[in-house]
Amino acid sequence: MDCCLPQIQSDSPRSYAEVTGPSEPSDRLSLDCRGRGCASRPVARETVLLMLKPEHLDRAVAEKYRFCADPECRVVYFPEGEGATFTTDDLQARVGLKEKQDPIPLCYCFGFNEADAREEIAHTGQTSIPQRIVAYIKQGMCACRERNPSGACCLGEVNKAIKRLLA
């Protein structure tokens, strides 16, 4: 449950950029997504099974899957070998980086979305969402592997979205 804790180990105040690190996941992205050249990364089969709508579970027979990180591609999961590919329509949750209309999820563990960030930025000129996420993570409350369709910590994607919204 402490998927994000290696990034946040001390109680010392640090900037958001220091805590979140690079916006890409630590494991290298590779290109594939069935010949389209989309950026992808490994994702646990357990995450795929937790995200799929029940009617698609019997198609999830591959041992290893990848998460397609291309915002323009509707594919979410594809097998490293033979097997079924799953799109945004096959999932129970919306995939924030592939969505264009609200609500666009930012953080799956704590329920923040882009509309929350936009509203706070409109009223105050900034947002406390990243710091609130970090505080929850320090309390050991994240469950990204189970709740985030990418199976990874959301801080990198939150960081990118906040920078875009502030620009």
pLDDT of residue 145: 86
Q: How far is CA 24 from the centre of its chain?
A: 11
Distance CA 30, CA 40 (A): 5
Count of C-beta atoms within a 10 Å radius of residue 118: 15
Quickly state the pLDDT bin for 81 (edges 50, 70, 90): confident
Structural domains of the chain, with CATH: 27-92 (2.20.25.270), 99-167 (1.10.10.1100)
Distance CA 44, CA 50 (A): 10
Contact criterion met (CB below 8 Å) for 135 and 16 = no
Cα radius of gyration rounded to whole Å, the chain: 16
pLDDT per position as a tens digit, 83-136 = 999 999 999 999 999 999 999 999 999 999 999 999 999 999 999 999 999 999
pLDDT mean across residues, the chain = 84
pLDDT per position as a tens digit, 28-52 = 445 557 656 788 899 999 999 999 9
Quickly state the pLDDT bin for 11 (edges 50, 70, 90): very low
The pTM of the full predicted model, rounded to 2 decimals, is 0.81
